[in-house]
Amino acid sequence: MSPYTWFAAALFVLGSAFILADLQSPSLLQWTGTQVPDVQSGGIAYYSFHGVEYTLDLPLRAPGQSAMPGTVVLDPADPSQAIFARPLSKWIDATLVLGPYATSVLVLAFGFTRRSQRRRLRARLGPAMTGWGAATRGPDPAGPRNKTH
């Protein structure tokens, strides 16, 4: 296998590891959960699901920071399990999971393109001019092959 294939395979394994880690993390809830609005008061976010009230502690904010988003993502099977909806966090998560897969596809495309270019060059120049050191071999000892004089 070519180095490009090995590198793409390593990126594929890395992407798979990221998927497995994401399936174990609480951030999976932002993809599979249900979004509900919340009301924030006194450091606590209040939200309801199917008529039942729940609370979620607000993280400490530094002075001057804007308020938390007004949306909570919860697990429909257990509405007490909830996190705040953060679009930036969702994009970062998606990039970390899908980035290695996209990069592996690009690496394979680059490797296949380079290989086809080398094959075309080899076919055009012939086998004597495509090996290692072909550019430094010097003139052909048999002389020019096509004498036109």
Query: DSSP letters of 5-56?
Result: HHHHHHHHHHHHHHHHHHHHSGGGHHHHSEEEE-EEETTEEEEEETTEEEEE
Q: What is the pLDDT of residue 53?
A: 92
Q: Are strands 78-84 and 44-49 parallel, antiparallel or unpaired?
A: unpaired
Helix axes 3-24, 87-125, angle to 10 degrees: 170
Q: What is the pLDDT of residue 65?
A: 61
Each domain of the chain, given as residue ranges in start order, spans: 3-116
**b/e string for 30-41 if b means 16 or more Cβ within 10 A?**
beebeebebebe
Residue 145 confidence (pLDDT) above 70:
no
Q: What is the mean pLDDT of the chain?
A: 81
Q: Are 56 and 45 in contact (CB under 8 A)?
A: yes
The string of pLDDT tens digits covering residues 42-87 is 778 899 999 999 998 887 665 656 666 688 899 999 888 888 888 8
Whole-angstrom distance, CA of residue 7 vs CA of residue 108: 9
Whole-angstrom distance, CA of residue 34 vs CA of residue 22: 18
Whole-angstrom distance, CA of residue 103 vs CA of residue 131: 30
> 4 vs 64, which has greater pLDDT?
4
